[in-house]
A and B are shown apart, each in its own frame.
Chain A
């Protein structure tokens, strides 16, 4: 017997819109980070590379967490 959904469809729609907003904001942040890092790297400044990569990976982890929550909503 399948369990009834935790949220109604309209509630899920609101949740997916909220998650989409967060994910898009994080992706824009990553884009900015990659642009700034590339500029520094091409200018010979390599000290920023590892912290920027860690920050980008943290953003990816956050996005994957949000996606996992979205999948669990089904």
Chain B
């Protein structure tokens, strides 16, 4: 192979035409002006630099829209809180007779009417506790484990203290909302609901 042949081979792999001008404008691979390009390329010219710029700009717009959605969510919480503040105090309602439940037994009830299910547990002769039955993690119903002094959420193995409703283990971080109780004349009354953090 002569030296001349080697030079020719090197020429074959010389770098292609620049992909972009100094301003980032995409140039066709053969480097010829647009008017000399084949029809298919003239019909579907792709300017990759411009394409990238437009897609980033559109992503910024979408993220600003997301930001607006978060602000609307915050405003909704304020409005909902204002509406809750105007609501009347919950009524005093008889939810069970003391004799209806043996020690260690539990039953569900709603308070106030139409609420999510609540759980009433008799823990002693005259002691009762009542909590919202929905786990504060993902709203699965909790199950009383009275012998262990706990409430168990089987969905993700969350545990709450039966005496206080505070989370002991698992994913829940907030205590269960507590229903305030009063025992009078052999009847258990619900007098309010205490939300806690």
CB pair B63 A43 closer than 8 Å: no
Pair A53/B70 contact, Cβ less than 8 Å: no
Contacting A53 at CB < 8 Å: which of B25, B59, B78?
A: B78
Q: Which residues of A contact B64 (CB under 8 A)?
A: 23, 60, 63-64, 66-67
A16 to B54, CA, bound (A): 10
Name the residue on B nearest A54 (C-beta).
B74
Q: Tell me how far the C-beta of A12 lies from the nearest C-beta in chain B, rounded to whole angstroms.
A: 6
**Which of B57, B67, B74 lies in contact with A70, CB distance below 8 A?**
B57
Asked if B68 is at the interface of the complex by the 8 Å CB criterion, the answer is yes
Residues of B within 8 A of A43 (CB): 174, 195-197
Whether A27 pairs with B60 at a CB distance below 8 angstroms is no
**A31 to chain B: closest CB distance in Å?**
6
Interface residue total, chain A, C-beta cutoff 8 A: 40
Does more than half of chain A's interface fall in helix, strand or loop, or is it mixed?
A: helix
Interface presence of B138 (CB below 8 A)? no
Shortest CB–CB separation between residue B61 and chain A, in angstroms?
Answer: 7
Residue of B nearest to A47 (CB): B81
Give the residue name and chain of the A residue nearest to B54 (CB).
A16
Q: Which residues of A contact B173 (CB under 8 A)?
A: 39
Interface membership of B124, Cβ < 8 A: no
A26 to B53, CA, bound (A): 21
Contact indicator per residue, chain A 25-46, by CB within 8 Å of chain B (1) or not (0)? 0110011011001111111111
A1 within 8 A of B: no
Over the window 57-92 of chain B, the binary record of Cβ atoms lying under 8 Å from chain A Cβ atoms (1 yes, 0 no) is: 101110110111011011101101100110000000
20 contacts between A and B (CB under 8 A): A9-B50, A13-B52, A20-B60, A23-B60, A26-B67, A27-B67, A30-B67, A30-B70, A33-B74, A38-B77, A41-B77, A43-B197, A44-B177, A44-B197, A53-B75, A57-B74, A60-B64, A60-B67, A60-B68, A67-B61
4 further A-B contacts with Cβ under 8 Å, apart from A13-B52, A34-B73, A56-B70, are A9-B24, A9-B53, A13-B49, A56-B74
